[in-house]
Amino acid sequence: MFVDSHCHLDFGASDADLSAVLDRARAVGVERFVTVGTNRAEFPEVVRLSEAYADVFCALGIHPHEAEKVGEEISAKELVDISAHQKIIGIGEAGLDYFYDNTPKEAQERVFREHIRASILSGLPLIIHTRDAEEDTIRILSEERKGHEKELKGVFHCYSSNKELAAFGQEIDFYFSFSGMLTFKKSDNVRDIAQDIALDRLLVETDAPYLAPEPFRGKKCEPAYVVHTAKCLADVKGLPIDMLEKATTENFFRLFKKVKAP
């Protein structure tokens, strides 16, 4: 059993197309899917999809690129209230993205802090998007988790950051999810970091419809392709694929406790 721990099933697919996409994933052993909302406009559709399929769950948050847009302000309390829904299993994705200079850092930080607080209050794991913002990510998490070390759990999704953040994340018992980026020829740095992360902290994802792994790079990504990322991760760790499959699936259920293991 594989889990696609982070995808965007609402991005552009009709219901008929999506049913076919999910069937192709199930055919190769993918049995759980987490579809992730990144702005308020997406929230209703993301929740609807999770309600429509027994094996689809969701998480809701404000992506850092959306943080300053009109109507995207959100409080920790509102996030906690929304996340009471039985199919909402995580808070986010939220975080910091300094790769593109299209959202003020102050707005990103303010919204990120609200998501961290919501995670602590709700007990749901935090799904973090961070890019070229390692120092501030460490600083903000360190400040917000003070006094709440046991309550704050989460995952760095689509991990491609540096070794310093990876070391910090392991110190605070966070998880690390790897996408198709792991398979790219120029991703030696990502593979080096994955090699050093403990097996009981690893997840796999597609971030579909983005970042299709080799040999599908350049095509629209879909959840079935998570198996290729898992195979690459197993090779990086020097493990048989069935051991990597078992570990990442167990890790998923350990982190996302609202999802009942079969």
C-alpha closest to that of 216 among 208, 253, 204: 208
Q: What is the pLDDT of residues 38-66, one digit of tens each?
A: 999 999 999 999 999 999 999 999 999 99
Fold of 2-255: TIM Barrel (3.20.20)
Could you tell me what percentage of the chain is helix, strand and coil, using 3-state DSSP and rounding each to the nearest 5? 45, 15, 35
Grade residue 16 by pLDDT with cuts at 50, 70 and 90. Answer: confident
> Which residues fall within 8 angstroms of residue 33, CB to CB, at 6 or more apart?
3, 4, 7, 9, 22, 25, 53, 55, 56, 57, 223
Q: What is the pLDDT of residues 143-154, one digit of tens each?
A: 999 999 999 999
8 A C-beta contact, residue 178 and residue 213: no
The pLDDT of residue 209:
96
Average pLDDT, the chain: 97
Q: What is the pLDDT of residues 64-78, one digit of tens each?
A: 999 999 999 999 999
Please, which residues bridge with residue 127 across strands? 155
What amino acid occupies position 64? Answer: P
Q: What is the pLDDT of residues 120-139, one digit of tens each?
A: 999 999 999 999 999 999 99
Q: What does the domain layout of the chain look like in residue ranges?
A: 2-255
Strand, helix or coil at 5?
Answer: strand
C-alpha closest to that of 182 among 209, 213, 219, 207: 213
What mean pLDDT comes out for the span 236-260? 98
C-alpha closest to that of 130 among 77, 71, 174, 74: 174
8 A C-beta contact, residue 179 and residue 205: yes
Give yes or no for residue 213 having a pLDDT over 90: yes
Give yes or no for residue 83 having a pLDDT over 90: yes
Alpha-carbon distance of 64 to 97, in angstroms, equals 6
pTM of this prediction exceeds 0.85: yes
Quote the percentage of the chain above a pLDDT of 70. Answer: 100
Give yes or no for residue 12 having a pLDDT over 80: no
The pLDDT of residue 189:
97
Alpha-carbon distance of 220 to 68, in angstroms, equals 29
The pLDDT of residue 98:
97
Give yes or no for residue 89 having a pLDDT over 90: yes
Give yes or no for residue 13 having a pLDDT over 80: no
